[in-house]
Copies of this chain bind each other. A is one copy, B any other.
Amino acid sequence: MIEQPYHHGKLREALLERAMATIEEAGVDGLSLRQLARDVNVSHGAPAKHFRDKQALIDALALAGFESMNRLILNAAQSSDDLRVRFVNVGKAYVEFAVARPALLTVMYSTKHHPDSSAELRSTGEQGIHVAQAMITEAQEAGALAAGDPQTLAMVCFVSLHGAALLAAGKHLDGTTVEDVVVATTDTLWAGMAAGVPAAQLSQAP
């Protein structure tokens, strides 16, 4: 018999790690604090010492998710000298992350978050957009892209890739490959930003 010490020692990390696995296997709804405690050989009340709420645990998962996602994105943003290639690679990195950990992505962008952690969550979650915005500004200055508000354009790119990521993660891309959609999306966006939007075309109501 192995003697279990009264104190686990690294309960918080163990819970987070196991919870990460669980949500990918069974979704966020399949996550139970009591089952989690059982999985880690700890009493059902123990998790409360590290996470006030179930929601607090989920917030921690979301934060960790953003951090590891940001690492991937920042990495992809330094992957090439060609700005357009870097742009595509960032898109690929985002979508790859989404496909690898779909439940985590859902948690990250779930609306319900505790107001406390919300601040940290928000700022960490916004980093991806800032990367995109920097790339666009740089490309505009280099003359590769037409003029246009970088903040709005970055949001457009983020929004589009986010949609691709979510639908790919949810297997909602019917006839098309994930790879195809990402490449086509980034290519189309880049072409659109390169061409610019004719002023005459600025969408008016019908």
Residues of A within 8 A of B (CB): 27, 29, 79-80, 82, 84-85, 88-89, 102, 109-112, 125-126, 129, 151-153, 155-156, 158-167, 170-176, 180-181, 183-198, 201-204, 206
For A196, list chain B residues within 8 Å (CB): 191
For A186, list chain B residues within 8 Å (CB): 203
**Cβ of A197 and Cβ of B189 under 8 Å apart?**
no
**Cβ of A164 and Cβ of B163 under 8 Å apart?**
yes
**Cβ of A185 and Cβ of B166 under 8 Å apart?**
no
Beyond the given A152-B176, A190-B201, A191-B195, could you list 8 further A-B residue pairs with CB under 8 A, ordered by the A residue number? A110-B170, A151-B175, A156-B160, A158-B167, A159-B164, A183-B202, A191-B193, A191-B201
Sorted nearest first, the 7 A-B pairs with minimum C-beta distance are: A163-B163, A192-B192, A160-B160, A188-B192, A191-B192, A162-B163, A195-B195
**Cβ of A80 and Cβ of B206 under 8 Å apart?**
yes
Can you identify 7 A-B contacts, CB atoms within 8 angstroms? A29-B29, A152-B176, A152-B184, A158-B163, A160-B164, A160-B189, A191-B191
For A191, list chain B residues within 8 Å (CB): 191-193, 195-198, 201
Q: How far is the CA of A42 from the CA of B158 in the complex (A)?
A: 46
Least distance between A198 CB and chain B CB atoms (Å): 8
